[in-house]
């Protein structure tokens, strides 16, 4: 039986080494108007290559996702975001799109897509697709036409520049995936710009025809019925029109949340995030709003900005741009109560009035949360993700506590890790196939087929099947948390208020809406902590550790335990 709403049990608490009191005052109240689905819901990211293979080629596909929708319905998520499944030479595993309005045969057909969408909707699950506006594949017909000749009608659809008089590159911009952002085209004797691989040339969004064509690709999927878009490197589309050199980053500074090698030695002032980017998203928003009807279509932008004030500008001055710029701030913080609370509070404080927050602990570009924070803390990290104010995005497999799966060099796939070696940038470990059951390929693909990346070594015990059978599993906990979230308006759209006098090492906050009033306690430390719950009777809802230990007005938190209590 899955962990469900817990009754108090008289477990003996471990001896606490930290103590503090939490006062349960009246929290601020927020309106209880109905909120749109993307605010109350939980998003689940599927990396399609790694979810479920249906045709025995070792790579996941769209019919595979359809076949596994009942897992997601049973889990209790509200939307899936599916990473790119469009025709692609797969140099960046689908983020190099050669046709925005079709499905790569590796993943299926447009018919398979329609069946997946219909099956998701039947289960009340919305579908968000990936949109990659910054760059295409170098095999996209637009780029083939663009590179065919300097005078061709599509030449200006990409960013071409002459060499400097001394033959050198047009400026100092770097590719995120290593080396310069410029590649020489010997036939037409100019450089073209690529913020990522040389096989991913950047579109020229200053050209109105590009804008029209790309917005047309959104309409294609909107007409088919998708519920929204995750927008790849959303802030990169507009660059400095004068292509000025980026200045060097001050010594010792870190421009991204991890060491990315030479790319991190510049301040990326001019190669992304030009003020004109906002106009692009105002236009995208107008388009989505036209399709909104009674159910909004959502835009979620991938934006690697870690200063809350910078990030929130992408909601738009009048909240007329992205519905949500992905909030990656928790990907980089030291996993301590103080640092996490500071991060949450800074984001809450920076949010413009009416803007809706969101939280991310993992995706296909980041080391798995269970590997970053450790398996002991992974359970309370899930509790945190699902109880903070805002839309959570869950990465596939995190409901199983999947960890990074080491990939030997001869099996490495990811071009980033290959191009910039030595920094652990390869993203294969977080893209391991999903383990479903105890069969030889864990149910991911047929017996005897080699999956495109190695399965987790603990697939048999980590699998959905194994964890479904265990009431203490991470899967059972995640289901329980999602059920609790669904049952509590305070968690879906209530206010957030941190509790200031929690003991050191414990992050405590209140979530409240109307009469629904919850207290969340997360112990970040590997020792126990005692929290006194001044003045109120509390009923335990969920604990990461079986049953919360609440007695005589005190909650005894075990190492890395997270609990949710309800005011009685
Ligand atoms: C961000 C995506 O999340 C990543 O996987 C991809 O490699 C780059 N953008 C380039 O599209």
CA of 232 to the centre of ligand 1 (A): 6
CA 132 / ligand 1 centre spacing (Å): 9
Hey, which of 90, 95, 260 would you mutate to test ligand 1's pocket, going by the most ligand atoms within 8 Å of its Cβ?
A: 95
pLDDT along the chain (568 residues), means of 10: 26 42 40 80 98 98 99 98 98 98 98 98 98 98 98 97 97 97 98 98 98 98 98 98 96 79 94 98 98 94 96 98 98 96 98 98 98 97 98 98 96 93 93 97 98 98 97 98 98 97 96 96 97 82 91 93 92
Identify the pLDDT of residue 458: 97
* pTM as predicted: 0.94
Q: How many CB atoms lie within 10 A of CB 67?
A: 17
Tens digit of pLDDT for each residue in 363-406? Answer: 999 999 999 999 999 999 999 999 999 999 999 999 999 999 99
Distances (CA, A) of 485 to 38, 274, 324, 365, 543: 14, 38, 20, 27, 13
User: Burial of 529 by CB count in 10 Å (0-12 exposed, 13-18 middle, 19+ buried)?
Assistant: buried
Give the ligand 1 atom nearest the CA of 135.
11
Under a CB-based contact definition with an 8 Å cutoff, are residues 280 and 237 in contact?
Answer: yes
What are the E-state strand segments in 310-349?
324-325
Supply the residue whose CA is at minimum distance from atom 2 of ligand 1: 232
Catalytic residues: 232, 302
Residues in CB range of 559: below 8 A, 6 or more apart: 14, 376, 523, 525, 526, 527, 528
Of all protein residues, whose CA lies closest to atom 8 belonging to ligand 1? 95
Q: What residue owns the CA closest to ligand 1's atom 11?
A: 95
Taking the CA of residue 95 as reference, the ligand 1 atom at the shortest distance is: 11
Distance 550 CA to ligand 1 centre (A): 45
Ligand 1: centre distance to CA 166 (Å): 33
Compute, in angstroms, the gap from residue 530 CA to the centroid of ligand 1.
Answer: 43
Q: Whose CA is nearest to atom 6 of ligand 1?
A: 95
Query: Which pair of tokens denotes residue 45?
Result: 């990211």
Q: What residues have CB less than 8 Å from 253, skipping those under 6 apart?
A: none
Ligand 1 neighbours, Cβ below 6 Å, are 92, 95, 132, 196, 232-233, 302, 364-365
Ligand 1 atom nearest the C-alpha of 363 is 3
DSSP 70: H
CA-nearest residue, atom 10 of ligand 1: 95
Q: Distance (Å, rounded) from C-alpha 539 to C-alpha 567?
A: 6
The pLDDT assigned to 534 comes to: 76
């Amino acid at each position: 039986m899955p962990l469900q709403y817990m009754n108090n049990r008289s477990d003996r608490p471990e001896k606490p080494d930290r103590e503090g009191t939490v006062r349960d005052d009246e929290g601020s109240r927020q309106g209880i108007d109905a909120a749109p689905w993307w605010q109350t819901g939980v998003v689940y990211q599927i990396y399609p290559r790694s979810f479920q293979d249906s045709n025995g080629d070792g790579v996941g596909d769209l019919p595979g996702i359809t076949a596994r929708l009942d897992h997601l319905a049973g889990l209790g998520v509200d939307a899936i975001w599916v990473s790119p499944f469009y025709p692609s030479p797969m140099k960046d595993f689908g983020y190099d799109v050669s046709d925005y309005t079709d499905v790569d045969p590796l993943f299926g057909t447009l018919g398979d897509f329609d069946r997946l969408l219909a099956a998701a909707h039947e289960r009340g699950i919305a579908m968000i697709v990936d949109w990659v506006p910054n760059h295409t594949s170098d095999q996209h017909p637009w780029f083939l036409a663009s590179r065919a000749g300097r005078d061709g009608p599509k030449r200006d659809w990409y960013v071409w520049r002459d060499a400097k008089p001394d033959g050198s590159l047009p400026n100092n911009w770097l590719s995120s995936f290593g080396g310069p952002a410029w590649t020489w085209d010997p036939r037409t004797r100019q450089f073209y710009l690529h913020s990522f691989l040389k096989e991913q040339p950047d579109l020229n969004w200053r050209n109105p025809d590009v804008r029209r064509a790309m917005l047309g690709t959104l309409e294609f999927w909107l007409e088919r019925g998708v519920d929204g878009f995750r927008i790849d490197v959303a802030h990169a589309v507009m660059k400095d029109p004068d292509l000025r050199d980026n200045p060097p980053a001050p010594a010792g500074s870190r421009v991204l949340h991890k060491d990315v090698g030479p790319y991190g030695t510049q301040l990326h002032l001019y190669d992304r995030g030009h003020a004109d980017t906002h106009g692009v998203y105002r236009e995208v928003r107008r388009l989505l709003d036209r399709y909104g009807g009674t159910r909004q279509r959502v835009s979620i932008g991938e934006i690697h900005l870690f200063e809350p004030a910078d990030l929130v500008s992408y909601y738009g001055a009048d909240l007329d741009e992205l519905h949500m710029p992905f909030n990656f701030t928790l990907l980089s913080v030291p996993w301590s109560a103080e640092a996490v609370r500071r991060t949450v509070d800074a984001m809450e404080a920076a949010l413009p009035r009416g803007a809706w927050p969101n939280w991310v602990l993992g995706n296909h570009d980041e080391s798995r949360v269970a590997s970053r924070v450790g398996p002991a803390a992974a359970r309370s990290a899930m509790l945190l993700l699902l109880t903070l104010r805002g839309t959570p995005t869950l990465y596939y497999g995190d409901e199983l506590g999947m960890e990074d799966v080491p990939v030997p060099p001869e099996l490495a796939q990811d071009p980033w890790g290959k191009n910039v070696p030595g920094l652990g940038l390869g993203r294969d470990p977080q893209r391991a196939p999903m383990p479903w059951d105890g069969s030889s390929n864990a149910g991911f693909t047929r017996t005897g087929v080699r999956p495109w990346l190695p399965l987790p070594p603990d697939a048999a015990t980590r699998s959905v099947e194994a964890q479904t059978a265990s009431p203490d599993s991470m899967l059972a906990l995640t289901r329980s948390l999602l059920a609790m979230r669904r049952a509590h308006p305070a968690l879906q759209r209530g206010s957030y208020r941190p509790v200031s006098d929690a003991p050191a090492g414990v992050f405590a906050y209140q979530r409240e809406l109307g009469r629904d009033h919850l207290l969340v306690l997360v112990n970040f430390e590997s020792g126990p902590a005692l929290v006194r719950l001044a003045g109120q009777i509390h009923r335990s809802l969920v604990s990461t550790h079986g049953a919360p230990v609440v007695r005589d007005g005190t909650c005894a938190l075990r190492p890395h335990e997270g609990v949710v209590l309800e005011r009685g």
